[in-house]
């Protein structure tokens, strides 16, 4: 339904015009009328009709004044002029004001109806055009918005190394004015419901300050970029604004049953540092303690020290169980390992990841033995590291490495050299491959599920040697090779063949070989030369 206002100083003309338009009542409603141009202008301002039908010759303000005013102030309003004079100046003014039609008085019912219908058609066409243009603008804005979000997310995650210093969408135009930012990385378990972060931003009036970026590829990750005024990163304004936001946002997260962990980056000056900020957030999350109970869920980035060295006394046994293919024992030992982590103070998630990575290195060394690979420079595969880098709960890390160690165990089960041959042969092979470790008779007995005394008797019976003598022989033979074919120092050689005490190494070597290590090197170096 369209609306119109009739402006004419003759009441009879106004009534007649309304009467003639009654057949179009299903399309048009006359919502008001005025007797002069000034009154008519105020009425149009008040009612904002779709169509204005006006006379040119009126008191106070005539058509020549009213038309330009209406045309300028209400450019989308259709104007129809009715006049008793075919005046050139009137016609000229009508044309310049983009009047739809110019009708001379007296006019017939058909004439005014046809003019109004033509005007309505014109309005419909313009509405369709405006709608089309609006749709195009909206589609363009949505496309720019989606592209901006994708580009920012890709750069944040390191999928592209191209940093965009500005955004194209109007919705995100505030970013162009505030390039200083802090990144919040929100980490939650995949099975948890998505957090209504965007709703919270809109409800609390932060949509011109913060941008929410969920990671579609990794449901566990959500990102929140908090933009700050383009002043010094250390300014009181920026700091106060950031504190205000965090004081509102972080407590809100705690209302959720399983609220996420939050890593918070340092303040950066422009979007080119977005990926750096993401790296800082991950480092902050990795610094969460696992060895003590804690209630903190938010962790601020701080330059961290190298990971703490973790020494697990059952490591050698663990690696042996993997190589032996003992799946259930390996499962129990992984559980024991992660319980052990909880007893360490301090111990961070980063410490745990690094220690587990060391264990995987040893596993791959064993695997390479069976695959006949000689390359011992193994490093964690990029895929494996990428996965671990996305895990920020100790339970997830445990589950991941549990599956990894069990997979290696299953792979080695059928090929293990410790599942074939005589028991003593297996023990000898273990000593030959692990002589550099802290091997004791008690340890070997436990590995092979033997009583220590029985192992001693069985070993002597089948080899003709005591266990200790056999171990020392293996170590001495290796020591002789190193003395002749390397320039390592004596303490290094002692360490390499399994002796932490260099004096004890010297004593055993002299007893077994009849020469001191120095004498042996000097004597046989000349022979080799």
Do 339 and 403 lie in one domain? The reply is yes
Burial 348-361 (b: 16+ CB within 10 A, else e): bbbbbbbbbbebbe
Output the CA angle 276-280-284, nearest 5 degrees: 170
CB atoms within 10 A of CB 117: 13
Do 122 and 39 lie in one domain? The reply is yes
What's the order of all strands across the beta sheet hosting 180-187?
210-214, 221-228, 180-187, 261-264, 298-300
The residues near 489 (Cβ < 8 Å, ≥ 6 apart) are none
Identify the domain containing residue 194 by its residue range.
178-300
Question: Per the domain annotation, does 402 fall within a domain?
Answer: yes
Helices (H), 186-314: 197-203, 236-253, 274-286
Type and span of the H or E element at 299:
strand 298-300
Question: Per the domain annotation, does 63 fall within a domain?
Answer: yes
Question: Per the domain annotation, does 476 fall within a domain?
Answer: yes
Task: Give the chain's domain count.
Answer: 4
Type and span of the H or E element at 432:
helix 423-434
Question: Per the domain annotation, does 143 fall within a domain?
Answer: no
- Judge if the upstream peptide bond of residue 33 is cis by omega within 30 degrees of 0: no
Residue with tokens 């399994």: 498
User: Residue 510 maps to which CATH number?
Assistant: 1.10.10.60
Per-residue tens of pLDDT for the chain, all 529 residues:
999 999 999 999 999 999 999 999 999 999 999 999 999 999 999 999 999 998 888 899 988 888 889 988 998 889 898 877 666 555 555 555 567 677 887 888 998 999 999 989 988 988 888 888 878 888 888 888 888 888 888 888 888 876 566 778 888 888 877 668 999 999 886 666 677 888 999 999 888 888 998 876 777 788 999 988 765 555 666 778 888 888 999 888 888 777 788 999 999 888 888 999 999 999 999 999 987 666 678 899 998 778 888 999 999 999 999 999 999 999 999 999 999 999 988 899 999 999 999 999 888 888 888 877 545 444 556 678 888 988 898 889 999 999 999 999 998 888 888 887 889 999 999 999 999 998 999 999 999 999 999 999 999 999 999 999 999 999 999 999 999 999 999 999 999 999 999 999 999 999 999 999 999 988 886 655 4
Question: Per the domain annotation, does 446 fall within a domain?
Answer: no
Do 388 and 288 lie in one domain? The reply is no
Question: Per the domain annotation, does 164 fall within a domain?
Answer: no
User: Residue 76 maps to which CATH number?
Assistant: 3.40.50.2300
Question: Per the domain annotation, does 152 fall within a domain?
Answer: no
Residues in the chain: 529
Do 227 and 271 lie in one domain? The reply is yes
Residue 157: both structure tokens together: 């995650």
User: Residue 232 maps to which CATH number?
Assistant: 3.30.70
Do 215 and 289 lie in one domain? The reply is yes
Question: Per the domain annotation, does 158 fall within a domain?
Answer: no
Residue 63: both structure tokens together: 């058509």
The residues near 496 (Cβ < 8 Å, ≥ 6 apart) are 436, 478, 479, 482, 488
How far, in Å, CA of 104 to CA of 430, rounded? Answer: 114
How far, in Å, CA of 145 to CA of 167, rounded? Answer: 8
Do 196 and 291 lie in one domain? The reply is yes
Residue 466: both structure tokens together: 């005591």
Q: Which long-range contacts (CB under 8 A, 24 or more apart) does 13-21 make?
A: 13/55, 13/82, 13/105, 17/53, 17/82, 17/112, 20/108, 20/109, 20/112, 20/113, 21/112, 21/113, 21/116
């Amino acid at each position: 339904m369209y609306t119109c206002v009739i402006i004419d100083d003759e009441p009879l003309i106004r009534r007649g015009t309304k009467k003639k338009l009654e057949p179009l009542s299903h399309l048009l409603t006359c919502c008001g009328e005025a007797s002069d141009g000034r009154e008519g202008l105020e009425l149009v301002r008040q009612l904002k009709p779709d169509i204005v039908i006006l006379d040119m010759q009126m008191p106070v303000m005539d058509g020549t004044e009213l038309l330009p005013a209406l045309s300028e102030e209400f450019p989308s309003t259709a104007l129809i002029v009715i006049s008793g004079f075919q005046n050139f100046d009137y016609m000229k003014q009508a044309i310049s004001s983009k009047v739809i039609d110019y009708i001379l008085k007296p006019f017939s019912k058909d004439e005014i109806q046809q003019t109004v219908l033509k005007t309505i058609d014109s309005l419909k066409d313009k509405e369709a055009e405006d709608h089309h243009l609006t749709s195009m603008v909206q589609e363009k804005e949505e496309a720019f918005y989606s592209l901006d979000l994708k580009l920012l997310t890709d750069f944040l995650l390191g999928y592209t190394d191209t940093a965009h210093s500005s955004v194209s969408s109007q919705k995100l135009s505030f970013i162009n004015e505030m390039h200083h930012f802090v990144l919040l990385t929100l980490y939650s378990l995949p099975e948890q419901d998505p957090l209504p972060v965007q709703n919270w931003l809109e409800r609390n009036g932060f949509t011109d300050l913060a941008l929410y970026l969920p990671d579609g590829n990794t449901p566990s990750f959500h990102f929140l970029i908090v933009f700050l005024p383009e002043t010094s990163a250390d300014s009181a304004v920026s700091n106060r604004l950031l504190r205000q936001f965090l004081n509102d946002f972080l407590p809100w997260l705690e209302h959720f049953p399983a609220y996420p962990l939050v890593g918070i980056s340092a303040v950066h000056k422009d979007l080119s540092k977005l990926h750096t900020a993401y790296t800082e957030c991950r480092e902050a999350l990795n610094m969460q303690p696992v060895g003590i109970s804690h209630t903190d869920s938010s962790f601020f980035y701080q330059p961290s020290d190298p990971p703490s060295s973790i020494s697990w006394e059952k490591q050698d046994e663990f690696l042996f169980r993997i190589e032996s293919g003992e799946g259930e024992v390996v499962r129990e030992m992984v559980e024991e390992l992660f319980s052990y982590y909880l007893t360490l103070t301090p111990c961070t998630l980063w410490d745990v990841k690094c220690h587990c990575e060391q264990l995987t290195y040893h596993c791959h060394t064993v695997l390479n033995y069976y695959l006949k690979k000689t390359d011992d420079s193994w490093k964690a595969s990029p895929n494996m590291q990428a996965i671990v880098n996305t895990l920020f709960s100790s339970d997830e890390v445990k589950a991941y490495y549990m599956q990894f160690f069990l997979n290696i165990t299953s792979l080695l089960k059928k090929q293990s050299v410790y599942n074939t041959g005589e028991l003593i042969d297996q023990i000898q092979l273990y000593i030959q491959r692990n002589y550099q470790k802290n091997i004791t008779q008690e340890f070997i007995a436990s590995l092979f599920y033997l009583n220590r005394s029985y192992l001693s008797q069985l070993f002597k019976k089948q080899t003709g040697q005591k266990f200790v003598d056999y171990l020392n022989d293996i170590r001495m033979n290796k020591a002789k090779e190193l003395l002749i074919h390397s320039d390592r120092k004596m303490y290094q050689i002692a360490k390499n063949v399994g002796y932490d005490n260099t004096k004890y190494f010297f004593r055993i070597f002299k007893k077994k070989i009849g020469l001191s290590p120095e004498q042996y090197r000097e004597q046989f170096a000349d022979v080799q030369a």
